[in-house]
Amino acid sequence: MKSIVKNKHSFRNLQDIAGPMLILCLCLSVSQSMAQKAMASTLFDSLYQTEIEKIQIYLNIDTFLQNKFTDKEQEGKIKVISKGDSLVLAVDISVRSKSRRRYCDFPPIKFDFTKSDLEAMGLDNEDEYKVVTHCLDQELGEEILLKEFMIYQLYRIITPISLRAKLVDVEYIDSGNSGHLRKKAVILESENEFAKKHKGKLCDCMGTPLDKIDGLQMEIVAMFQYMVGNTDMDHLVERNIKLIEPKDDAQLMIPVAYDFDFSALVNAPYVHKQVEDNRRIQRVYLGYKENESRLPEVIQLFKSKEEEILEFVGNFDLISKKERRKCLDYIKDFYREIDGDELVLPYKQR
C-alpha cells in the first residue's frame, strides 16, 4: 500500500474528492493543533483525543462486499474532519472478523495504513486498526453497534486493562458512483499498541496453559463476560481474547477481551435465531476453578463499580429509553446475583 492512491479507475481526479486540502494532506502535513496531539503517540491516540465531526471513507463498496469472504485489500482513503481541521490518509481496506463476515450485510473493516506515512507525521508506526461497522442494513444494525460500544465503555469502567473504542460518524463514499452511505462506526485501539503501552508484546500463542496467565485478570475478564452475558471467548484458540506477554519473563500474561456482539446485552438477532431475547438465556461463567481463590477480590471490584456502571447505562441515550431499561434490568440481575450470600457460578463445562 502506498501513500498515494494508485487505483485510477477508483479515483480518477484526486482534487475532485477532497479539493485543495488533499494535496497538503497527501504530503503528510497536518494542522498544528492535530500535530500537537499526535506527537509521540499513535494514530488512534490522536483520533481518540480529537472531537471528530465525521470520517469519510473512500472505497469501492461493490468490491468490498464482493471480497467479503476473502482478505483481499483494496486501495482507498480516509478523510478525518474535525472543527477547523482535515486530515487525509491513503489506506488499504479489507474485511475482517471470521464470524461477522458470514452474517453481516456490511461486515467489519480492517484499515492498513503505511508505516512511513505515519512516521512522517510524527506518529508511532502502528498501522493496522479494526473498525466495527453497523453490520445489518436495517435500523437494528446501528442499535447493535451502539450497545457493543457501550460494552467497551463498561469494560473501561471495570479495568484499564481494556481496549479503548472511539465512536464516530462515518460517510462511506463509493468510488463506483453508487452514492454515499452515512452510518456510525467504532474504531478500536489496536492490540499491538495496547501491548506496547502495557510494556509487553502481543502473544500469538494458541493453547497457552492457564498457569502462564494472570489469574486475577483472567477472572476479571470472565466476570465481565458473565455480567454482559457473553460466552463467545476462548483463550486456548484466541477467540475474542488476546494475551499480552510481558517483557519480564517472570511475569504472567495479561488477557484482554474484545468483540462483544454475541453478548446477551447486545441481543443481536443472529446469535440465537430461535430466541426472541437473548437476555433470557442463563448466564455461563467462563472463569476457571483453578482461580477460585481470586473470586472475592474480583466480586469486590465489580461491587465497587456498581453505581458507576448503572449510571452509565441509564444515561446512555444513544439507544432508546426502552432498550436502556432492558439493559439496566439485565445488569441489575447480575448484581443481585453476586450480592447473594451463597453465590454459585455456573462454570462452563470444559
- For residue 7, pLDDT beyond 70: no
Identify whether residues 145 and 176 lie together within a single domain.
yes
One-letter identity of residue 74: Q
Domain match, 77 and 103 both = yes
Query: Do residues 172 and 33 both lie within one domain?
Result: yes
- Whether the per-residue pLDDT at 92 is higher than 70: the answer is yes
Residue 221 lies in a domain: yes
Taking residues 163-177, what's their average pLDDT? 94
315 in helix, strand or coil?
coil
Both 176 and 208 in one domain: the answer is no
* Residue 143 φ/ψ region, left for φ over 0, alpha for ψ in the -120 to 50 degree band, beta for the rest: alpha
Asked whether the CA dihedral 121, 87, 59, 145 is positive or negative, the reply is positive
The overall pTM is greater than 0.95:
no
**Do 324 and 181 fall within a single domain?**
no
Residue 347, pLDDT > 60, answer yes
Task: Measure Cα distances from 268 to 134, 148, 230 in Å.
Answer: 12, 10, 12
Residue that is last in its domain, among 147, 164, 192: 192
- Residues 273, 227 share a domain: yes
Domain of 76 in residue numbering reads as 14-192
Do 142 and 217 belong together in one domain?
no
Domains identified in the chain, total number: 2
195-222: pLDDT as tens digits = 999 999 999 889 999 999 999 999 999 9
**DSSP-based three-state secondary structure for 320:** coil
- In this structure, is residue 63 part of a structural domain? yes
Residue 344 lies in a domain: no
pLDDT digits (tens, 9 = 90+) for 288-337: 999 999 999 999 999 999 999 999 999 999 999 999 999 999 999 999 99
| Bridge partners for 129 per DSSP | 111
Domain boundary residue, one of 192, 215, 250: 192
* 348 falls within a domain: no
End residue of a domain, out of 151, 177, 192: 192
Predicted confidence band at 17 (pLDDT cuts at 50, 70, 90)? very low
Same structural domain for residues 203 and 187? no
The model's confidence at residue 340, banded by pLDDT at 50, 70 and 90, is confident
For residue range 51-90, what is the model confidence (pLDDT) as tens digits? 999 999 999 999 999 999 999 999 999 999 998 888 999 9
C-alpha 309/C-alpha 154 separation (Å) is 6
Total number of residues shown for the chain = 350
345 is a domain residue: no
Task: Give domain status of residue 7, yes or no.
Answer: no
- Which amino acid is it at 280? R
> What are the distances in angstroms from CA 15 to CA 25, 180, 271?
12, 18, 44
Phi, psi torsion values for 238, nearest 5 degrees = 55, 45
Start-to-end CA distance of the chain, whole Å, equals: 43
**176 pLDDT exceeds 90?**
no
The continuous run of DSSP H or E covering 338 comes out as helix 321-338
Is 169 domain-assigned? yes
pLDDT at 257: 97
Query: Within a domain: residue 331?
Result: yes
The pLDDT value recorded for residue 24 is 36
> What would the pLDDT profile of 24-55 be if each residue is shown by its tens digit?
343 333 444 454 444 459 999 999 999 999 99
Mean pLDDT of 238-256: 91
Q: Is pLDDT of 274 > 80?
A: no
Most confident stretch, 13-22, 27-36, 276-285: 276-285
Domain shared by 158 and 253, yes or no = no
Give yes or no: residues 147 and 249 share one domain. no
Quick one: what percent of the chain has pLDDT higher than 70?
Answer: 89
* 212 & 314 share domain: yes
- My answer on whether 178 and 137 are in the same domain is yes
